[in-house]
């Protein structure tokens, strides 16, 4: 027996978005989503399983989304792809023949080659419900946790894990400050300080050389000779594309072994196979070069494009801008586009505009937070290239505004004329609105005036 359908999607979160997009554009087509996991976790919410939401069951994407969009779910593992016959072989179910296929197989955590990495209670950050439940149970019995990596994964895990009483948390980062690849130094240092205020220890310019103990981890040894007691080690080093099934099927891979796709999200190898999310290649919005950015917002954007383009060309991807935010001990940090460091390292001549203001007006309103905005413009054109924000919860939406301005290549002059909606309890004052004021401060230097 063989099942036949119009569209097969392999994958989790971005697969759901691709399926919904396909159903919206082609309501007459049958869509089947195949995934190995019975429950799909919200990827960005995984650190909060270990503190704020207290368990993976409180961080899931409801399957009602599939039912309401008439997408059939098959919980199974895809083990082979026959492109010639257009058939997906499953581990436990009958094969499925498709007309169009979307690969949304996501990413896998990087496991560094460190002696002792295979010891018990050393955990990578996997997007698996039962696995993360096990990690949480182990953490509730632990006294010392060491987190390897001071990027987003490491910092957010540290901030959440320290909420467990009696648990000592240490972050080991090999660079000279945490979040260096994501934010400029002043914002990274501010985030580090917020985290250290909670009692988390941060060791910078340190490299793990081994993980010691008998069967279970007992300590982490650093290149400096320090030994850190550890009942649990979390690997927060990053991810790589999960493209093994595609590779076995002879589909062309590109940068970092991601599935190579065009601007329509079609694979270069097969016009009836699309890919989206962390399993595929991406190019920068700014220079078209390959990008290693892995964000859920990018993945779902690609998924919407892939689903729309299955049977006709509707949308094209713009390239990765990279818009994101994080939250550390009650303060938010966000970046859209290029940081000052990256722009200067790429030889760009830039102008910086900065402004700060309370995110309410007056600043004495309840829960008011000082918001700081930094904008980066190209000196020759005045076009916005990037921006960074720190402040309260509205930071997340502020960086989204900056991202939209970057996408539409707005200039400092155009942002000066920006018409914002304001309210005393919700935003900065229209007079002191930091996004606009930062642009105002850049206008004269862009013109060459001091």
pLDDT, tens only, 193-225: 999 999 999 999 999 999 999 999 999 999 999
**Domain shared by 166 and 135, yes or no:** yes
Q: Is residue 325 part of a domain?
A: no
Report the number of distinct structural domains present in the chain.
3
Res 355 pLDDT > 90: yes
Using the 3D structure, point to which of 218, 237, 256 is the last residue of a domain: 237
**Domain shared by 246 and 179, yes or no:** no
Q: Which residues span the domain enclosing 281?
A: 3-108+240-308
**Domain shared by 214 and 167, yes or no:** yes
Q: Is residue 397 part of a domain?
A: yes
pLDDT > 70: percent of the chain: 100
**Domain shared by 172 and 277, yes or no:** no
Q: At what angle do helices 434-447 and 395-407 cross, to 10 degrees?
A: 40
**Domain shared by 202 and 254, yes or no:** no
pLDDT, tens only, 273-301: 999 999 999 999 999 999 999 999 999 99
**Domain shared by 227 and 244, yes or no:** no
CATH code for the domain in which residue 428 is found: 3.30.390.30
Residue pair 369/359 in contact (Cβ under 8 Å)? The answer is: yes
CATH code for the domain in which residue 148 is found: 3.50.50.60
pLDDT, tens only, 137-186: 999 999 999 999 999 999 999 999 999 988 999 999 999 999 999 999 99
User: Would you state the pLDDT for residue 450?
Assistant: 61
Among the residue ranges 62-71, 78-87, 352-361, 441-450, the one predicted with the least confidence is 441-450
Predicted model pTM: 0.94
- CA–CA separation, 203 and 172 (whole Å): 5
pLDDT, tens only, 369-423: 999 999 999 999 999 999 999 999 999 999 999 999 999 999 999 999 999 999 9
Among 40, 47, 45, CA closest to 129? 40
User: Would you state the pLDDT for residue 423?
Assistant: 94
Among 158, 178, 179, 180, CA closest to 170? 158
Q: Is residue 321 part of a domain?
A: no
pLDDT, tens only, 88-129: 999 999 999 999 999 999 999 999 999 999 999 999 999 999
Q: Is residue 447 part of a domain?
A: no
Bridge pairing between strands 350-358 and 331-337: unpaired
User: Would you state the pLDDT for residue 305?
Assistant: 98
């Amino acid at each position: 027996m063989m099942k036949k359908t119009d569209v097969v999607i392999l994958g989790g979160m971005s697969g759901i978005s691709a399926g919904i997009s396909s159903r919206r554009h082609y309501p007459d087509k049958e869509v089947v989503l195949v995934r190995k996991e019975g429950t799909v976790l919200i990827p960005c919410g995984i650190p909060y399983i270990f503190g704020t939401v207290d368990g993976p069951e409180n961080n899931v994407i409801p399957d009602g989304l599939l039912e309401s969009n008439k997408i059939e779910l098959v919980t199974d593992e895809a083990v082979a792809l026959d492109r010639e016959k257009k058939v997906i072989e499953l581990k436990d179910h009958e094969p499925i023949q498709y007309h169009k296929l979307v690969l949304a197989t996501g990413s896998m955590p990087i496991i560094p080659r460190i002696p002792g990495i295979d010891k018990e209670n050393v955990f990578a950050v996997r997007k698996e419900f039962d696995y993360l439940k096990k990690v949480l149970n182990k953490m509730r019995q632990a006294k010392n946790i060491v987190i390897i990596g001071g990027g987003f994964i490491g910092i957010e895990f540290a901030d959440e894990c320290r909420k467990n009483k009696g648990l000592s948390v240490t972050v080991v980062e090999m660079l000279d400050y945490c979040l260096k690849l994501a934010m400029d130094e002043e914002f990274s240092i501010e985030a580090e300080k917020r985290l250290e205020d909670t009692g988390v220890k941060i060791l910078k310019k340190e490299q793990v050389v081994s993980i010691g103990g008998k069967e279970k981890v007992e300590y982490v040894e650093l290149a400096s000779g320090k030994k850190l007691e550890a009942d649990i080690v979390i690997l927060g080093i990053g991810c790589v594309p999960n493209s093994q099934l595609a590779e076995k099927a002879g589909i062309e891979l590109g940068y970092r072994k991601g599935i190579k796709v065009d601007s329509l999200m079609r694979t270069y190898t097969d016009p009836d196979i699309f890919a989206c999310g962390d399993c595929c290649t991406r190019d920068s919005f700014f220079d078209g070069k390959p990008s290693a950015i892995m964000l859920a917002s990018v993945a779902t954007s690609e998924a919407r494009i892939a689903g729309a383009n299955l049977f006709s060309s509707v949308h094209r991807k713009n390239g990765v801008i990279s818009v994101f935010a994080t939250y550390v001990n009650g303060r938010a940090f966000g970046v859209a586009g290029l940081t000052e460091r990256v722009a200067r390292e790429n030889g760009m001549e830039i102008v910086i505009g900065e402004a700060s203001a309370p995110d309410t007006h007056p600043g004495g309103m309840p829960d008011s937070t000082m918001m700081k905005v930094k904008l980066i413009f190209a000196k020759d054109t005045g076009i916005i290239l990037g921006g960074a924000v720190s402040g309260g919860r509205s930071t997340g939406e502020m960086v989204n505004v900056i991202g939209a301005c970057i996408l539409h290549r707005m200039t400092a002059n155009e942002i000066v004329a920006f018409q914002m909606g304001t309210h005393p309890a919700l935003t900065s004052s229209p007079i002191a609105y930091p996004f606009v004021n930062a642009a105002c401060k850049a206008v004269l230097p862009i013109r060459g005036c001091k």
